[in-house]
Every structure is written in structure tokens, then in C-alpha cells.
Amino acid sequence: MSRLNCIIIDDEEIDRLTILSYVKKFSFIEIKGVFCSATEALSSNLINEIDILFSDIDMPILSGLEFRKQVKNIPVCVFITSHPEHAAESFEVETFDFLIKPLQLDRFQNTISRIEMYFSMRNKANLFDKIENQDEIYIKEGHSQIKLKREDILYLEALKDYTLVVTQNKKHCVLSSLGNLLKENHFNSFVRIHRSFAIQKNFIKKIGPNDVCLNNDISIPIGRSYKENLKLIL
């Protein structure tokens, strides 16, 4: 995987150093700048070469949310904040992930894994083709096309502009958001149970208070605002 450029913005020195130390653990990410304010970052002339933004939200003069509105050309934005009440608003500005302070390494590693997968899939630029049979789709991978049966798809996972189509044997990526994909007739049997996940009810093994267990003991989290959708399954 090619190297990715990032900047870090946080007005608290300890938090800034914590993020810096965590990012340094991943060799494929190059830190182009570390800033104590969004205004400082905005005047750095680095924005056009940045792939990943790690930013606090509650900062003086220019908040992280206002900064993001001005730099939407940065593909991946990860907010790291002490204020969970900003979560809903943050996703209106194309946020990739939202982390709560104090930052935990295992949660940060999970975010980095998703970022790595996102850029890998973005480079492959896979697409899906609709075909007349509503139970089948074609996934483009390189110069080949793979036919998938809808009944073989375990779940769908959102990955920013892309969606992972997960079967028992492989994960495929299509160039479409999860929301747009679920509007297609090909995926009308899927139920969204989380901002990032949609499942088929015939693969459900058990429904818990916070997650759904699928066949092969795959656990999918239930989003608080999507619990009503479980009634469609039940």
C-alpha cells in the first residue's frame, strides 16, 4: 500500500502528543503536520496533499467541524473529541470515524484498519453491475467479473463512499454508499441495523441487546437509532 499523508489538529498538548504517538505506530502513514489550531492548519498550504485528517472539534476561533467544511477535499476525516454530543453533527460533514477521549489504542487501531481498507478498496475501484435476475449481481475485480447470488451475501458494511459486500468466503467492494445500495431492488431483503451495517434475516442466529449474531458466529453491532428496524426482522 502506498504511503498516506495526514495532519493532526488539537489545541490540547497531551492529546496532540497522544495522537501523534499512536499514528507513528503505522508506517504507511506519513505525518505532514501537527497543529494546535485549525486556523494554523488552514494557513499551512498542506491541505491539497493530505489524505487523512485527525482533528479535535472544540477549538477556539475555528472549530473542527467548521474546518472540515472548508477542507472536504481531504478524503478521510477522523474526529477525536471529549464531546460525544457532536457525533450526529460530525457525520453531516462526511466524517469517517468519531473517537471519544481519552483515546484508546485498540479503538484507534480499529479506525486505522478501516482507513487502510478504505484506501485499498478505493484504489481497486470495484463496481457492481445490475442484471435482469434480481437475485444476482456482478462484481468487477480488475478485468474480471464475479457473479454473486444475493442469498450468499451475509451482510453489507459501509466504508465511506464504498460498501463491502461480505460472503462466507470473501469481501468484495462496490463503489456505492451503503444508503444508496440499500435503495436498489437487488438489496431490498437487507435490513440496516447500524450506521455501518445491513444484514439479511435468514442468516441471523441470535439477537442480543447490543448485537446480532450471524452464522459462523459473526457479531454485528446494533446502532441505537436503528433498533426499530429489528422489528422488521422479528
Q: What is the DSSP string of 80-130?
A: EES-GGGHHHHGGG--SEEEESSPPHHHHHHHHHHHHHHHHHHHHT--EEE
Query: Within this chain, do residues 156 and 117 fall inside the same structural domain, yes or no?
Result: no
Which of 103, 123, 143 is the last residue in one of the domains? 123
Domain boundary among 78, 98, 123: 123
User: What pLDDT score was predicted for residue 199?
Assistant: 93
At 116 the pLDDT is 92
Q: What is the CATH number of the domain that holds 179?
A: 2.40.50.1020
Side chain identity, residue 76: V
Q: Are residues 101 and 202 in the same domain?
A: no
In the chain, pLDDT over 70 holds for what percent of residues?
91
Instruction: Say whether pTM exceeds 0.75.
Output: no
Q: Are residues 100 and 133 in the same domain?
A: no
Residues 6 or more apart in contact with residue 224 via CB below 8 angstroms:
none
| pLDDT tens per residue across span 204-229 | 888 888 889 997 788 999 888 888 88
pLDDT tens readout for residues 44-90: 989 989 999 999 999 999 999 999 999 999 999 999 999 999 888 88
- How far from each other are the two terminal CA atoms of the chain, in whole angstroms? 43
The pLDDT of residue 146 is 78
What range does the domain containing 22 cover?
A: 4-123
Q: Are residues 154 and 192 in the same domain?
A: yes
Q: What does the block give as the cell for 10?
A: 488539537
Question: And the C-alpha cell for 47?
Answer: 491541505
Same domain for 32 and 134?
Answer: no
Which of 71, 106, 123 is the last residue in one of the domains?
A: 123
User: How many structural domains does the chain have?
Assistant: 2
DSSP class of 176: S
Question: Looking at the structure, do residues 102 and 167 belong to the same domain, yes or no?
Answer: no
- Peptide bond connecting 75 to the previous residue in cis, omega within 30 degrees of 0: no
Say yes or no: 203 and 144 in one domain: yes
* Whether 119 and 130 share a structural domain: no
Residues 119 and 131 in one domain: no
Q: Is the pLDDT of residue 113 over 90?
A: yes
